[in-house]
Every structure is written in structure tokens, then in C-alpha cells.
A and B are shown apart, each in its own frame.
Chain A
Amino acid sequence: ETGVTQSPTHLIKTRGQQVTLRCSSQSGHNTVSWYQQALGQGPQFIFQYYREEENGRGNFPPRFSGLQFPNYSSELNVNALELDDSALYLCASSLKAGGPSTDTQYFGPGTRLTVL
């Protein structure tokens, strides 16, 4: 148990639709990162938020966006869904600002998104 929760557990959408995934971080963790994990692959960094501001972004298009709220919850929004967006989406919270180099990331159980 990492204290990080995500909802929903599973989601099925059709191509072109929009989706919002939610994450609740550990209390006191000001940093949240979102990852996309395709089948058989390692997690790929989407972006990170620190105190409600985007603090770094991976190689994902602008249709992937996020929000972080003061109550340690956050959202990942994906517009204009494509078939390749089908994956497990993980959020991870951590204590320190900005840098994962020395900081443990606590992952949530993920949301399995299927795009048809």
C-alpha cells in the first residue's frame, strides 16, 4: 500500500473522445508525476506537477494535459483519443520538488485505458 489511489480502475473509450483520469497522492506529497505504460514496456514519463504548476514534460503531445489541486489530487486529461493511447496510466507522488534523482516515487495502482 503506497497511499496513492487512482480512479477509475478501467475505462473504455472510442477514438476521438476525451478522457479524464484521477489520482490522489499521499498527504504531504507536493509532487505528482504521470506515466504511460504500454503492454510489456516500462513506464514512460508524461509530465510532472509541483504545487499546481507543470514542472517538466516528456515527449507527449499537447493533447495530454494535467491539473494538480491543493488537496493532493490531480488529473490527467487526454483529448482526441487515438488507438495508441491504450495503456496503463500510472501516477506517482513524491515528497521533494522537481527532481526524482534522490526521491522515492510512490505509484498508484493505475488506470487501464482501452481505446477502440
Chain B
Amino acid sequence: QQPVQSPQAVILREGEDAVINCSSSKALYSVHWYRQKHGEAPVFLMILLKGGEQKGHEKISASFNEKKQQSSLYLTASQLSYSGTYFCGTDELQGGSEKLVFGKGTKLTVNP
């Protein structure tokens, strides 16, 4: 089941904040966030794990509400380089092995 992302698109001015949401109808063990710029590969941002552990290395924060099966990505004081499409991926067990199921993405545009 594909996670649902909202909003589909957001336009900001440099320095403004944004929140991108990701929700699933299934119980989640982890949520992954990636950013993809036009014509480029998705780039890892962070993983949020059940139990609160968070792994990431960029100046972007996120939350993971296991009960609500939701995650939110917080982009504060946005920079021009934040522009791109953000995807959340949720883990799903299929045929005895795990796979990542990605949402349709949220397109973020940061203008000067």
C-alpha cells in the first residue's frame, strides 16, 4: 500500500519553513525520506525507526508517530538548494522479504 504524501506541491521563499507529511494505512517499522532533483537520483535524507531512533545527517528534522502511522519532514529556514521532490518510503513485508514503498512525492520549490 503506497504511503500518501501531502501537500503535493509547495512553493516557498528562501528562509521560510515547510512541513511535508507522509501517512500510511499500515503499521510502520520505519520511514525513509529522500530528495530528488530534476534529472538526478534520489538522495538519502534520513531514516526514522520505530522506537524513536533517527538516522540522518542533514540540517533537516523529522518526526515519526507510530500510533498515527505518520511521519513529517520539517524544513526550516529553507535554502535554494532544498528545491526538489521529496519522497517518503515505508517498509513493507512481501514474500518473506522487505521492500520500500514510496509515495508519489511532494514537489518543493524555493524561490529567492
Contact = CB atoms under 8 A, between A and B. Distances in A.
Interface residues on B, range: 20 to 34
Interface in B25-63: 29-30, 32, 34, 40-44, 47, 49, 55
B75 interface: no
Interface of A: 2, 4, 33, 40-45, 48, 55-58, 90, 98-110
A90 B95 contact: no
Contacts, number: 73
B97 A98 contact: yes
Contact of A100 (B40, B55, B91): B91
Given A90-B41, A100-B32, A101-B29, A42 B91 contact: no
Interface string B1-38: 01000000000000000000000000001101010000
Contacts of A98: 97-98
Interface string B89-111: 10100111111111111000000
